[in-house]
Amino acid sequence: MFKIPSKNDIIKAQNKGCNILNKIVLLNSAKYQKAIIAFDVDSIQIVGKNNIGKTSLISVLNFLYMPNKKDWNFDDPALETLKYYFKKLDKNYIIFEIYKNSYFCILMKRSDNNQLQYYKIDSSYEDIQNKLFKKQDKSNLLLDFETIQSNLIGNIEELDNNKFKTLLYGKSKRDKTVIWLNENSTQKTFSKIYKYLLNTKLITNEKLKESLLIADKKNDEIREFSPNDNQKIEDIKRHQNYISKLENIKQDFSEFKHLVDEYYAKDENLNKKYSNFNNLYNSELAKVKKDKETLEGEVQNIQSAEIEPLNKKSLYLATQTGSCKTNIASVNNNYKTKNQEIVKIQKYDPIALLKASLKNIQTEEKNLKYDISQIEREDYTKDNIQELIQEKQSQSTQIENKIKNFENLLIHHISDDENVKKVINSVFSDDILNSDKSKIIASIETIDKNILNLFDGKIDISSIKEKDFLTIDTLNTQLKRTNQELKKYKSIQISINTFDEKQTRLVNIEDELKKISSEINEIEKLPKLKEELFIFDEERKKLEDEKQKIEEEEKDIKNKIDTIKKSIEEKNKDIISYTQRLNKLQSYYMKFEDELRNLHLSFINEESSESIDSLVIDIKALKRTLYSLKNRLLSKVGAEIA
């Protein structure tokens, strides 16, 4: 067994000038970022859970006391061991502080070719530790080896294998070495014995004998035995075999009893775990179910009491928004139509000009209608109108001639008596009456108003009414009337010739009248249209404001719904967690259902500090352990039977 030197041992050794290991330091080595063991107390105990590095910490003594890799006492091969303790080439170090009259340190690191490199530093660890680190924020950062060498320049020396062994082993107390050996001891014998101190599991009867012989310095002696000695040896061996069998039986029985005790202890512990599991399962199952149902009730209540009314209001507001949009579109359309109408009207001619044009066109229409109606009423044709024109032209010519020859007409000179002229005017033809006065051979002095003497005959003219003869005024009047009729007939002739054109023109005029009348009416309605446009604009603004208010209310409701839904989502997450937890609990129970059903839970229901999850892990581990113990017991029973 390896004994760590106490504080008193160190003081005594220092007083006597002996070599002593004073401190072990691991920097970024194995599982340690920084570990220091100082041998300045009465005793040292290294205690901790499995796999935290206790063995790794003690086993570093191999590197100090065993320069030969073949003597190392590690569970893994040398290369893997080096890579475990020295993961990085330039930032993993193991330091041994030695006291021999004064302090010095041995620093070890892994080289590029996976060998141990040794360095001697002529100072204590306390003196050099500030040169191994640099301050960074609130922590210390371990330096690379090149920087450390620079910091320790002149105080650090690299050692090859031979130099290290020289520093390690000495023959005299005067040697400043790590350990010193007696004259009859060698490095080889030291290594053979020391590795068993590091790992006592390696010690067997043969190894113990060998170690004792080495310690007694008789490992190289040779002895010859006589026949009597040989017989005694055989007797001793026979007795040893007998004793060995008894010891083996005792050991097996002890192991069997230990296994049985361990089995029952673990079985009892398993029952306690099952009892605790059953209690925790029932209580947690009830709590999780209750919490889940409470949350589900809250979600349902929020859905019915908050979400649904908000959704209904949101739907109502959406309908209102849609109605507003429809009304706005309708008002915009009316506004656009009215505005286009106003723009169109504003492009019309001034109303005074339109009214003047209307009057002129109405006059033209009236004349056209008259011409057309007269043509239709008189039923004129091109031929008879031509005859009438010719007739009137002839009459006009005659009247004009009468007017020109009025003083030379026969009627004015046939007699001096006016009464005679009237009678003659009544019975003579126009041809005679309108003849030139030169035709008169003798004027008429007297006349019988009752009898007309014509040549050799007589005619009764008493019944003939006297007729005034034409005056110049009468002729002018006749001429005027005749010319008017002639003009009328010529106009009718023109109308007949342009009848189709007049009809077409009349249609166009009627369209123009309608158009102008319509434009005048529209212009007169313009103030009213502008007033309507203003009303539409005001209505549109009102609807836009109403729509904005509804949309803001919709947005506010949506935000409320989103907030509530987030709350529901969080609750649903908790519900899912509870559901998953229930499934997990039920899964746990199903795995242990048979055991729990067949198990008599006679333990007191004590509150357990363990969680049900850790209990499940412990139960599974215990079941595996019990199964393994049971198999070991069965194998031992089988071996004994065999």
* 42 touches 36 (CB < 8 A): no
Query: CA–CA separation, 3 vs 309, rounded Å?
Result: 82
| 102-110 and 93-100 beta bridge pairing | antiparallel
DSSP result, 318-378: HHHHHHHHHHHHHHHHHHHHHHHHHHHHHTSPPHHHHHHHHHHHHHHHHHHHHHHHHHHHH
The rounded radius of gyration (Å) of the Cα atoms in the chain is 74
Q: What is the pLDDT of residues 342-383, one digit of tens each?
A: 888 777 778 788 778 778 878 877 887 777 777 677 667 778
Asked if the model's pLDDT at residue 432 lies above 70, the reply is yes
Burial of 616 (0-12, 13-18, 19+ CB in 10 A): buried
Q: What's this model's pTM, rounded to 2 decimal places?
A: 0.36
Q: What is the pLDDT of residues 233-290, one digit of tens each?
A: 777 777 777 666 656 666 666 677 777 888 888 888 888 888 888 888 889 899 999 9
Other CB atoms within a 10 A radius of the CB of residue 175 amount to: 16
* 335 touches 536 (CB < 8 A): yes
Asked if the model's pLDDT at residue 213 lies above 70, the reply is no
Other CB atoms within a 10 A radius of the CB of residue 26 amount to: 22
| pLDDT > 70: percent of the chain | 82
Query: CA–CA separation, 539 vs 155, rounded Å?
Result: 98
Place of tokens 């899912």: 576
* 190 touches 181 (CB < 8 A): yes
Asked if the model's pLDDT at residue 312 lies above 60, the reply is yes
Query: Domain spans of the chain?
Result: 7-180, 227-341+586-641, 352-502
What is the model's pLDDT at position 563? 92
Other CB atoms within a 10 A radius of the CB of residue 190 amount to: 18
CATH topology (fold) of 7-180: N-terminal domain of mukB (3.40.1140)
Residues 6+ apart with CB under 8 A from 194: 65, 66
Q: Which spans in 186-226 are helix H?
A: 187-198, 205-215
* 193 touches 211 (CB < 8 A): yes
Q: What is the pLDDT of residues 187-197, one digit of tens each?
A: 666 776 676 66
Q: 3-state SS of 258-278?
A: HHHHHHHHHHHHHHHHHHHHH
